[in-house]
């Protein structure tokens, strides 16, 4: 069953974040992930959540998403992201389509 990282980013260092954005897609693909949303226009329809920049990543399953998040290749990139932005991130399991 697919799993999704839902990410809200508030970027403080655009140059550092640019480095992250250039390097991270290859690591995401290596673990079977793909971007569904990467920034872009959005509208808050209900509630008080006002994200700064939304990212939605899809992985084949929770285990693979966790492997990506904890892998050696992402460890350095995660540190770069944490220096460049404030992040709220959740991992959620998708709906079984069978």
Q: Is residue 47 part of a domain?
A: no
What CATH number is associated with residue 79? 3.30.70.100
Total tally of structural domains belonging to the chain: 1
Name the pTM for this structure. Answer: 0.91
Q: Is residue 61 part of a domain?
A: yes
Q: Is residue 69 part of a domain?
A: yes
CA distance 72 to 30: 12
CA distance 80 to 63: 24
pLDDT, tens digit, 9 for 90 and up, residues 11-44: 999 999 999 999 999 999 999 999 999 988 988 8
Residue 40 has what pLDDT?
Answer: 87
Answer for the pair 30, 54: CB distance below 8 angstroms, yes or no.
no
Residue 12, domain extent: 3-42+52-93
Question: 66: Cβ–Cβ under 8 A, 6 or more apart, which residues?
Answer: 91
pLDDT, tens digit, 9 for 90 and up, residues 41-75: 988 899 998 899 999 999 999 999 999 999 999 99
Residue 90 has what pLDDT?
Answer: 97
Q: Is residue 98 part of a domain?
A: no
């Amino acid at each position: 069953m697919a799993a999704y990282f839902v990410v809200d980013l508030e970027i403080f260092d655009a140059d550092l974040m640019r480095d992250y954005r250039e390097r991270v897609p290859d690591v995401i693909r290596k673990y079977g992930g793909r971007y569904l949303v990467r920034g872009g226009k959005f509208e808050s329809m209900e509630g008080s959540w006002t994200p700064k920049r939304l990212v939605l990543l899809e992985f084949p399953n929770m285990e693979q998403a966790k492997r990506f998040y904890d892998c050696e290749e992402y460890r350095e990139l995660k540190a770069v992201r944490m220096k460049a932005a404030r992040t709220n991130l959740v991992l959620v399991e998708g709906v079984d389509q069978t």
